[in-house]
């Protein structure tokens, strides 16, 4: 197995790690590879539950043994069909237990797992499959299968396409398509013939092997595949364990795309170490209901989700009885007072604690139960900036919410706030064992075992991403305070140089705008222009509510955006933000994007952020109107 | 275009705690046929009932010829000139055709006008004249629908609310009734709001259209514009997108643009 030179170890929540973080050989419970850890856990935990999935309204539990068996059949089956070590398998599916089965099965036989967003179009899939030179493609259902079928002649490198759900496909007879049940059968046959093959394949894995490929959306040009090795992921797991307490008894909810490094770390790799249970949400639309049902112990989401939950509560409060509203107001006051101490890491005075206890019993506890937050020890947020007010609100209702930062190229983690070491408005300190510096131009640069291996077959881009002395360029500009907390100020390459020659980082203004409940996202325009302007994506739910309360007539989304009152509302938000910035950084004009964008649209990333270049192109007529 | 005869602004209607209409605004111009499309439970019938006064909205305004009529008693709304032809016809089965028509004129007292309108109804629906002494319950479904429309006309309305006139009728009868509705619109300049499941028939007849989904309007435009929309074609007109396989079952997500 993983025979390594002995190093000093420490035990965190029942799992053994190196005493010193970020050191080679990086071991988690003595394992240096993901597949190795997977094997160890399955053997240890056997009949314990690892996944839950809802089927026809019932949450079913699946054990580590199920995890092991299915991953084994998948791995052996793929190997039999022609997968070689170092070759890629693409997975095009929503989150489900089979996603994890495939991830482990592929890695166990030395393959590289690469996720594709289900919102990607057929031609985007085609690009990723060919660029990664995928041998196999896993598709969830007939909808995803059709993306392959429309481009099948352009993907000659694919040996087989594996279909997870056969609904509507009973009559399918295609030489390159097989159902997952057939793959299991092939795997079982191989296992019967060579019972030790799977484990010996797992033992061949090395810390430096590439384990997964993650395509980054890339605001310019085609997506690039970032290669992450076993060691990178293990470094993230180690840092995660040190910064984000996770217990064996924890329940989590998996709902962000597993193609994204954040959810992949949190829902597949961290639980391998922590032994906790992952519950898969039914669909992106049912997340809030699933959250109530599961009531997770820790919950990691993007700011959009935290904002949504907050606005739901606000709407509920507005529609409550006067007494309910008053109680909520008093409870929030008590919560805020306590949160003020807690967020700064100060002890809470007993009078404040007693007051909170009272209002917690009366109001806040019920609120948390309604939201599915009653067991929550910690909420996490990342992948986009979040408003400090929102963080404070969550702390006030008794949900400690901390912000972190990471990117695919840092294996998902780079800096973290924790419950006890938290500075609001910053992204926290560098994770243990990871070095971070601010370059002369303000760029945040990192060095450590988290840093990815490079872009798949793209040495030129890889070289651009590292400095000559081996530090990773994150592309984000920021500053470091004396305690080591990092604040992000913007994206370096997004810097706008106005016609007046002034350098402006739009992200700072954009994230201030986004903190408004009525603005879901914004893009600042102004490169080589006389002044700054903005394209605004409004928050549909909150603006609709506002319009209804003010009796502003509208029929559909476009007419909502066209309403004068709505424009005034956004204008007022804009003015409030403008006051915080110097004159040249103020926005002189804005337009609302009057189409309701969905994840399928090019203008949005899978995490619902606006993509600057696409927005500028698609809405150039709006931009020209302003100049 | 002229000033709308009927303006609806931010109507919200509830069934107990359930919000069935969540802020609907729409305009109906005189002489136009406005069609409201939507799946079951979208709130179309609730909207009709709210306009005709059978239900009172929690919030919002309904302006008929510039006057607020929301929350008024149904018979006053009829008197003002809005008549509701309900879903499932609801004629009085044991009364004769003639008596049913007479009831339609309940709010009027100009006997000469009533007589004239009865002739008008018989002119548009000759079959009703033939069966004038027959009990309404013995009529066929199509004839009952004609009677329901005729009964509505007897109130001499300015706006007719037609809730699923094609319900349960054969395609031929639907065609016949829709032809009559078209004539009524053209010859009598009758303004109509038409709720329909049969989207194709509705859009062919109507000038303007609104699409409702879970209590909100998600799309509006002229009937022509709506017919061209990919979403309408896919979800209401049954046009199949070209797919990779013939037996494709999944549908793409609605975007309503």
Q: Which pLDDT score is estimated for A235?
A: 96
Instruction: Provide mean pLDDT across the span A2-22.
Output: 83
Give the per-residue pLDDT at A176: 94
For residue A43, the model assigns a pLDDT of 96
Dihedrals phi, psi of A345, to nearest 5 degrees: 75, 20
Question: How many contacts does A have with B, using Cβ atoms within 8 A?
Answer: 63
> Residues of A numbered 581-600 whose beta carbons fall under 8 angstroms of chain B's beta carbons: which are they?
595-596, 598, 600
- Tell me the β-bridge partners of A279: A52, A253
Contact between residue A303 and residue A384 where contact means Cβ atoms under 8 Å apart: yes
Judged by a CB distance cut-off of 8 A, whether residue A173 touches chain B is no
Percentage of chain A beyond pLDDT 90 is 74
For residue B144, pLDDT beyond 80: yes
Mean pLDDT of chain B: 90
Question: How many residues are given for chain B?
Answer: 257
Give the DSSP H or E segment for A104.
helix A97-108
Kindly give the pairing relationship between strand B59-64 and strand A443-447: unpaired
User: Average model confidence (pLDDT) for chain A?
Assistant: 92
* DSSP codes, A399-412: --EEEEE--GGGTT
Q: What is the pLDDT of residues A335-393, one digit of tens each?
A: 999 999 998 888 999 999 999 999 999 999 999 999 999 999 999 998 888 888 899 99
Cβ within 8 Å, pair A551-B61: yes
- B243 contacts A551? CB cut-off 8 A: no
Provide the pLDDT confidence category of residue A498 given band limits of 50, 70 and 90: confident
Express each pLDDT in A305-331 by its tens digit: 998 899 889 888 888 899 999 999 999
B245 and A556: CB-CB below 8 Å? Answer: no
Rounded Cα distance between B78 and A391, Å, is 55
Cα gap A180→A105, rounded to integer Å: 13
Phi/psi zone of residue A372: left (φ > 0), alpha (ψ -120 to 50 degrees), beta? left
ipTM given for this complex: 0.73
What is the structure's pLDDT at B59?
87
Contact A548 B249 (CB under 8 A): no
Q: Is B253 on the interface with A (CB under 8 A)?
A: yes
Which backbone phi and psi does A592 adopt, to 5 degrees? -95, 140
Task: Out of B12, B60, B247, name the one closest to residue A168 (CB).
Answer: B247
- Which chain B residues are Cβ-neighbours of A176 within 8 angstroms? none
Q: Indicate whether B234 pLDDT > 90.
A: no
The chain A residue lying nearest B252, using CA atoms, is: A143
> Regarding predicted confidence, which is higher, B87 or B250?
B87
Confidence at residue A361, expressed as pLDDT on a 0 to 100 scale: 95
Which structure tokens are listed for A23?
């050191």
Mean pLDDT calculated for residue range B209-216: 91
What is the three-state SS of chain B? CCCCCEEEEEEEEEECCEEEEEEEEEEECCCCEEEEEECCCCCHHHHHHHHHCCCCCCEEEEEECCEECCCCCHHHHHHHCEEEECCCCCCCCCCEHHHHHHHHCCCCCCHHHHHHHHHHHHHHCHHHHHCCCCEHHHCCHHHHHHHHHHHHHCCCCCEEEEECCCCCCCHHHHHHHHHHHHHHHHHHCCEEEEEECCHHHHHHHCCEEEEEECCEEEEEEEHHHHHHCHHHHHHCCCCCCCCCCCCCCCCCCCCCC
Whether residues A555 and B247 touch (CB distance < 8 A) is answered with no
- Closest residue in B to A171 (Cα) is B247
- CA–CA dist A149, A168 (Å, integer): 15
Out of B10, B255, B257, name the one closest to residue A551 (CB). B10
The answer, yes or no, to whether residue A3 has pLDDT greater than 70, is no
Confidence band of A5 (pLDDT split at 50, 70, 90): low
The residue with tokens 């850890």 is: A37
Chain B: closest CA distance from residue A618 (Å): 15
CB-based contact, B24 to chain A, within 8 Å: yes
Q: What mean pLDDT comes out for the span B39-50?
A: 91
> Which of helix, strand or coil describes residue A159?
coil
Query: Does residue A221 or residue A54 have the better pLDDT?
Result: A54
Which pair of structure tokens corresponds to residue A37? 């850890």
Residue A6 has pLDDT above 70, yes or no: no
Using an 8 Å Cβ cutoff, are A472 and A409 in contact? yes
Return the pLDDT at A307: 87
How far apart CA A225 and CA A421 sit, in angstroms, is 34
All residues of chain A having their beta carbon less than 8 Å from the beta carbon of residue B60 are: 551
List, for residues A230-267, the tens digit of each pLDDT value.
Answer: 999 999 999 999 999 999 999 999 999 999 999 999 99
Q: What pLDDT digit, counting tens, does each position of A134-174 carry? A: 999 999 999 999 999 999 999 999 999 999 999 888 888 99
Whether residue B162 is predicted with pLDDT greater than 50 in this model: the reply is: yes
| Chosen from A120, A550, A555 to mutate, greatest number of chain B CBs within 10 A | A555
Q: What are the tens digits of pLDDT across the range A190-203?
A: 999 999 999 999 99
Q: How far is A610 from chain B (nearest CA, A)?
A: 17
Binned at pLDDT 50, 70 and 90, residue A219 comes out as low
The answer, for A551 touching chain B at a CB cutoff of 8 Å, is yes
Best B10, B43, B216 residue to mutate vs chain A (most A CBs within 10 Å) = B10
pLDDT beyond 90 at B207: yes
Alpha helices (runs of H) in A373-515, residue ranges in sequence order:
388-396, 459-465, 506-514
A484 has a pLDDT exceeding 90: yes
Smallest CA-to-CA distance from B84 within B76, B132, B110 is with B76
Residue A2 reports pLDDT greater than 70: no
Instruction: Tell whether B26 is within 8 A of chain A (Cβ).
Output: yes
Q: How confident is the model at residue A392, as a pLDDT?
A: 93
Residue A556 φ then ψ, to 5°: -115, -170
B 44-103: CB under 8 A from A:
59-61
**Which of B218, B220, B244 minimises the CB distance to A146?**
B244
**pLDDT bracket for residue A1 (50, 70, 90):** very low
Residue in A171, A552, A600 closest to B247 by CB:
A171
* pLDDT for the residue numbered A517: 86
Q: Which residues of A touch B217 (CB under 8 A)?
A: 555-556
Average pLDDT over residues A1-20: 80
Which pLDDT score is estimated for A220? Answer: 57
Cα separation of B54 and A420, whole Å? 59
Query: Torsions phi, psi of A534, nearest 5?
Result: -140, 145
Residue written as token pair 């590292």: A466
pLDDT at residue B244 above 80? no
B245 contact A CB<8A: yes
- Average pLDDT over every residue of A503-521: 87
């Amino acid at each position: 197995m993983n025979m390594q030179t002995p190093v000093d170890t420490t035990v965190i929540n029942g799992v053994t790690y190196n005493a010193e973080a970020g050191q080679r050989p990086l071991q988690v419970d003595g394992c240096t590879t993901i597949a190795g850890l997977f094997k160890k856990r399955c053997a240890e935990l056997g009949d314990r539950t690892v996944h839950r999935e809802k089927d026809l309204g019932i949450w079913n539990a699946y054990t580590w043994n199920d995890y092991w068996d299915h991953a084994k059949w998948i791995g052996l089956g793929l190997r039999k069909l022609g997968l070689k070590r170092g070759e890629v398998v693409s997975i095009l599916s929503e989150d489900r237990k089979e996603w994890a089965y495939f991830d482990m099965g592929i890695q166990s036989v030395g393959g590289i797992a690469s996720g594709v967003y289900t919102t990607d179009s057929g031609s985007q899939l085609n690009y990723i499959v060919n660029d990664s030179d995928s041998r196999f493609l896993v598709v969830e259902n007939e909808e995803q299968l059709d993306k392959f079928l429309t481009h099948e002649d352009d993907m000659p490198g694919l040996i087989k396409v594996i279909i997870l759900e056969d609904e509507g496909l009973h009559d399918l007879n295609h030489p390159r398509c097989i159902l997952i049940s057939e793959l299991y059968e092939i795997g079982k046959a191989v296992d019967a013939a060579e019972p030790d093959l799977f484990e010996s394949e797992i033992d061949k894995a090395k810390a430096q092997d590439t384990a997964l490929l993650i395509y980054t959306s890339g605001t310019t040009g085609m997506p690039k595949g970032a290669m992450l090795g076993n060691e990178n992921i293990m470094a993230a797991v180690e840092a995660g364990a040190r910064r984000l307490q996770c217990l064996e008894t924890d329940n989590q909810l998996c709902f962000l795309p597993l193609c994204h490094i954040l959810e992949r770390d949190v829902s597949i790799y961290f639980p391998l170490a922590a032994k906790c249970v992952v519950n898969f949400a039914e669909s992106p639309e049912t997340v809030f209901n699933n959250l109530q049902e599961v009531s997770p112990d820790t919950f990691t989401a993007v700011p959009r989700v935290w904002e949504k939950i907050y606005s739901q509560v606000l709407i509920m409060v507005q529609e409550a009885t006067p007494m309910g509203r008053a109680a909520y107001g008093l409870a929030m006051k008590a919560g805020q007072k306590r949160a003020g101490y807690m967020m700064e890491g100060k002890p809470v005075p007993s009078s404040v604690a007693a007051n909170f206890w009272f209002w917690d019993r009366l109001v806040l506890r019920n609120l948390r139960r309604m939201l599915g937050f009653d067991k929550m020890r910690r909420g996490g947020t990342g992948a986009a900036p979040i408003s400090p007010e929102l963080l404070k609100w969550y702390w006030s209702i008794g949900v400690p919410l901390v912000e972190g930062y990471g990117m695919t190229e840092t294996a998902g983690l780079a800096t973290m706030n924790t419950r006890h070491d938290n500075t609001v408005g910053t992204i926290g300190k560098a994770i243990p064992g990871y070095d971070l510096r601010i370059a002369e131009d303000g760029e945040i640069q990192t060095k450590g075992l988290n840093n990815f291996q490079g872009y798949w077959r793209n040495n030129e881009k890889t070289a651009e991403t590292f400095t000559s002395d081996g530090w990773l360029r994150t592309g984000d500009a920021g500053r470091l305070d004396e305690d080591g907390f990092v604040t992000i100020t913007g994206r370096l390459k997004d810097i706008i140089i106005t016609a007046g020659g002034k350098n402006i980082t739009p992200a700072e203004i954009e994230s201030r705008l986004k903190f408004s409940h009525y603005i879901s996202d914004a893009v600042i325009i102004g490169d080589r222009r006389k002044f700054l302007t903005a394209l605004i994506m409004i928050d549909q739910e909150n603006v609709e509510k506002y319009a209804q309360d003010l009796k502003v007539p509208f029929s559909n989304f476009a007419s909502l955006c066209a309403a004068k009152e709505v424009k005034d509302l956004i204008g007022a938000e804009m003015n409030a933000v403008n006051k915080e910035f110097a004159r040249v950084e103020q926005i002189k004009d804005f337009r609302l994007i009057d189409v309701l964008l969905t994840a399928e649209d090019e203008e949005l990333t899978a995490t619902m952020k606006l993509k600057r270049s696409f927005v500028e192109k698609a809405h150039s007529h709006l931009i020209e109107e302003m100049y | 275009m002229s000033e709308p005869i009927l303006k609806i602004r931010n109507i919200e209607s509830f069934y107990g705690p359930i919000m069935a209409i969540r802020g609907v605004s729409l305009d109906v111009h005189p002489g136009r046929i406005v069609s409201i499309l939507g799946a079951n439970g979208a709130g179309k019938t609730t909207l009709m009932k709210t306009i005709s006064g059978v239900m009172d909205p929690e919030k919002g305004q309904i302006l008929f010829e510039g006057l607020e009529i929301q929350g008024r008693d149904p018979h006053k709304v009829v008197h003002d000139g809005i008549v509701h032809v309900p879903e499932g016809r609801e004629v009085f089965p044991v009364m004769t055709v003639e008596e049913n028509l007479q009831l339609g004129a309940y709010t009027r007292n100009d006997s000469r006008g009533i007589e004239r309108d009865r002739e008008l109804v018989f002119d548009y629906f000759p079959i009703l004249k033939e069966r004038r002494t027959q009990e309404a319950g013995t009529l066929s479904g199509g004839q009952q629908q004609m009677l329901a429309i005729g009964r509505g006309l007897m109130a001499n309305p300015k706006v007719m609310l037609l809730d699923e006139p094609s319900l349960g009728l054969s395609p031929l009868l639907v065609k016949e009734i829709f032809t009559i509705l078209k004539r009524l619109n053209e010859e009598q300049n009758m303004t109509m709001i038409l709720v329909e499941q049969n989207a194709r028939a509705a859009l062919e007849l109507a000038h303007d259209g609104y699409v409702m989904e879970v209590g909100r309007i998600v799309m509006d435009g002229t009937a022509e514009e709506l017919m061209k929309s990919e979403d309408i074609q896919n979800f209401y007109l049954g046009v199949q997108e070209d797919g990779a396989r013939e037996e494709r079952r999944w549908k793409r997500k609605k975007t309503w643009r």
